[in-house]
Structure 1
Amino acid sequence: MARQAAQQLGADDMVLYLVDHEQRQLLPMPGPGAPPRESLAIEGTLAGRAFSMLGPFGGATDGGGARLWLPLLNGLERMGVAEVVTAAPVPDFSVAAFEAVASLLAELVITRSQYSDTIERIRRRAPMRLAAEMLRAQLPPLTFSTGHMIISGILEPCYDVGGDAFDYAVNGDIAHLALFDAVGHGSGGGMRAVMLASLALAAYRNARRDGFDLIATYHHIDTAVRDHDRRGLITGVLAELDQRTGRLRVISAGHPSGLVIRRGKVTTVLPTPTALPVTLGDRRPPVVAEEALEPGDDLLFYTDGIIEARSADGERFGTERLVDFTVRALADELPLPETARRLVHAILAYQDDRLQDDATVLMVRFLGPSTVQATWPHRD
């Protein structure tokens, strides 16, 4: 379909590349008669720049022709890139037509992946352990935008998770956010942790869809997990953000504190803990903390695998490094999913790609009630 569309728009060819689960490589999607292609690194390539910056980038071919690289976006969820091959550079007035085709193809990649394993197999560069298979099937899309706010999350490692999970939903004016970290790692402990995290996710969605408030949602999750595994333990964050007003309400159940970043500085470290971890919720009532976000504010939630990552000589990554990196990335005006991707990759690089724990971030950018964005919102 991509190749047919390219010909109808006057191009010589179009090849789709899908991003791998670690978001390091762009992997060509084979098809009948498709020209041979090699995998491309996201770092240091025009294709990777189109993926990272969510926009078109052009270049030349070895034979004197031209290439146009376009991100494959389902909303703001990045699925990969499309390579458009032409005899001459695509004029600016024609780029929009190719972007429309790329958007449609991204939608088809999403929907068709529900009926076949072909796309999922392409995106994998290593065998996925059973625990990771179970948990990843339950996660929402990594990135979503309402025009008033952007949500972006990422979880590492991709192929062998230990119990981290996140979720979100936007119902009317209220955005619901959750981050969980179930205790238990390694092969046996990892499966137990995934079972606990899966139960917490299901209980969270069940409470949310029944219209429970934040405190009732916490108790619903706590009861559900305790009834299944009294010795299980899950730390987590439950939050609600009103898109009209910027009012943020948070319960931190024994979890690392969230950060509010405003105009390049951390203005608020959200209080923690305001509740006991899940399965201990019957021992002390939870407290809801409140914060007023301003348009342009960034909100960062993370699991302890981020700040507890250690270098080869044993030095912790720590909150200070986390803040410094996040502020610098935001100052570069990177799209929010790219900030999240680079943050987690920095954690991996810090410990030589050998995570001792899951490293998960959930980021939110509050754009404000009057903001209307048809494309990616850059900060002024």
Structure 2
Amino acid sequence: MAIKILSVDDEEDMEMLIEQRFWKQIRDKKFQFIYARNGLEALDMLDSHKDIQLVLSDINMPEMDGLTFLSELNTRTVPSLKTVMVSAHGDMDNIRTAMNRGAFDFVTKPINFKDLEITINKTVDHIEMLIRTQKEHDQLVSIQNDLTIAQDIQQSMLPKIFPPFPHRTDFDLHGFLKAAKLVGGDLFDYFLIDENQLFFIIGDVSDKGVPASLFMAITKALFNSHFTNPNCGTICDEVNRINAFLSRENDAMMFVTAFVGILNLTTGEVEYIDAGHEPPLILRKGKDSEILKKKGGLALCIDGSFSYVSGTFRLEPGDALFLYTDGVPDANNLTGERYGIQRVRELLRPVADTASPQQINTMVLESLQTFIGEAAQFDDITALTIRYFG
């Protein structure tokens, strides 16, 4: 597309000279010239031709001179519109004034048209750079807006009302997700299958950012739809089905580690499936915490035909279960030191019997943030804590 140039000059032969000197560029549609005889006409031209990108303006003109025109031009705040001023040779005062008022460059009369072409090309290169920069900025703003919306959507998918079952006295729980980016790949969820069974899950998608958040949303939705179905099978049946579905057409080769459990609220027994996830902590009432010796399983989406086997353990009244993603133990500070799960155990030892799930999660998150300090959070941090009262 031709660069549209507005030439502002009261000399009658200027239009003819430009057409003669730049006829090849005009023929090849590199340049397109529009003409005005003074500043007032030029302003009208700018109003009627919004796509003018470069102005070539004389300084000495009737009705409105070039310097006044330049001042008016500055009020239009079009960053990519640049002006090259034309002045008499040696008229440095006016040239200096023009440059101070925002002119991009200048040429002197009598015009050396070879020099003018070089000046125009240099100005056009600068204009195109500004346009590219603005376009990239606009794209980044658009992406940022999309990410903010995606963050809102993702956060709206996570449970956020605590306590979630205020009428129940047999258990309490709390969860949080602190993404490393605007959106993350961690997930947690819980719901009552019936009056006596609490389903819960915590998971971590292998990637970060938008791809992980999309996979997270799909995974969470699948678990919810399968385990709230009245015809729901065993925990093994449903996890096997979900794994087979997620593994199909997984061209991105993403996977999800997950710890999936069903707590029997009458007996305290937990049946679980470990899909390659971090082992949870059991905060035993009156005892030190213990790391669950779980039956290991493959992460979801790696092998669609993998057959998952469940394990069981029992929570006694007063015990709590602390589940987390690897963003907790793998958090690093500025020295590269790893937070580790042992810090969590030491942190929670004094309050293992008394703290509510929300208090436990708040303590862990605050401790992590203090430990990380000024270092960048490189992974999502998620925790889900359940206390069983029986």
TM-score, length basis structure 2: 0.57
Residue identity matched to 2:284: R
Task: Find the counterpart in structure 2 of residue 252 from structure 1.
Answer: 274
Once residues 304 and 284 of structure 2 are traced to their aligned partners in structure 1, the CA distance between those partners, rounded to angstroms, is 36
Residue identity matched to 2:239: Y
Once residues 337 and 158 of structure 1 are traced to their aligned partners in structure 2, the CA distance between those partners, rounded to angstroms, is 21
Residue identity matched to 2:245: A
**What 5-or-longer segments of structure 2 have no aligned partner?**
1-144
Once residues 368 and 383 of structure 2 are traced to their aligned partners in structure 1, the CA distance between those partners, rounded to angstroms, is 11
Determine which of 239, 242, 245 is the counterpart of 1:218.
Answer: 239
Residue identity matched to 1:356: F
Once residues 266 and 256 of structure 2 are traced to their aligned partners in structure 1, the CA distance between those partners, rounded to angstroms, is 31
RMSD (Å) for aligned C-alpha atoms: 2.2
Task: Find the counterpart in structure 1 of residue 202 from structure 2.
Answer: 179
Task: Find the counterpart in structure 1 of residue 308 from structure 2.
Answer: 286
Determine which of 191, 197, 209 is the counterpart of 2:216.
Answer: 197
Asked if structure 2 preserves the Cα contact closer than 8 Å seen for 1:258 and 1:269, the reply is yes
Determine which of 283, 296, 319 is the counterpart of 2:318.
Answer: 296
Runs of 4+ in 1 over 4 A off after TM superposition: none
Once residues 334 and 302 of structure 2 are traced to their aligned partners in structure 1, the CA distance between those partners, rounded to angstroms, is 35
Asked if residue 164 in structure 1 is aligned to residue 164 in structure 2, the reply is: no
**Residues 260-275 of structure 1 mapped to structure 2, 5 A cutoff:** 260-266=282-288, 268-272=290-294, 274-275=296-297
**What 5-or-longer segments of structure 1 have no aligned partner?**
1-125, 369-380
SS at match of 2:296: coil
Report how far residue 142 of structure 1 moved: 4.8
Residue identity matched to 2:382: T
Residue identity matched to 1:183: S
Report how far residue 131 of structure 1 moved: 4.0
Asked if structure 2 preserves the Cα contact closer than 8 Å seen for 1:157 and 1:359, the reply is yes
The higher radius of gyration belongs to 2
Task: Find the counterpart in structure 2 of residue 321 from structure 1.
Answer: 343
Question: Between Structure 1 and Structure 2, how many residues are aligned?
Answer: 238
Report how far residue 274 of structure 1 moved: 2.5
State which drifts further: 257-266 or 295-304. 257-266
Task: Find the counterpart in structure 2 of residue 140 from structure 1.
Answer: 159
Residue identity matched to 1:328: P
Report how far residue 173 of structure 1 moved: 0.2
Asked if structure 1 preserves the Cα contact closer than 8 Å seen for 2:260 and 2:274, the reply is yes
Once residues 317 and 158 of structure 1 are traced to their aligned partners in structure 2, the CA distance between those partners, rounded to angstroms, is 16
Task: Find the counterpart in structure 2 of residue 361 from structure 1.
Answer: 383
Report how far residue 148 of structure 1 moved: 0.5
SS at match of 2:382: strand
Asked if structure 2 preserves the Cα contact closer than 8 Å seen for 1:128 and 1:159, the reply is no
Task: Find the counterpart in structure 1 of residue 41 from structure 2.
Answer: none
Once residues 358 and 180 of structure 2 are traced to their aligned partners in structure 1, the CA distance between those partners, rounded to angstroms, is 16
- Alignment deviations for residues 233-271 of structure 1 (CA, whole Å, 9 cap, x no partner): 110110000000001111110100011111254454223
Which is richer in helix? 2
Identity of aligned residues (%): 23
Asked if structure 1 preserves the Cα contact closer than 8 Å seen for 2:185 and 2:204, the reply is yes
SS at match of 2:202: strand
Task: Find the counterpart in structure 2 of residue 104 from structure 1.
Answer: none
Once residues 223 and 266 of structure 1 are traced to their aligned partners in structure 2, the CA distance between those partners, rounded to angstroms, is 39
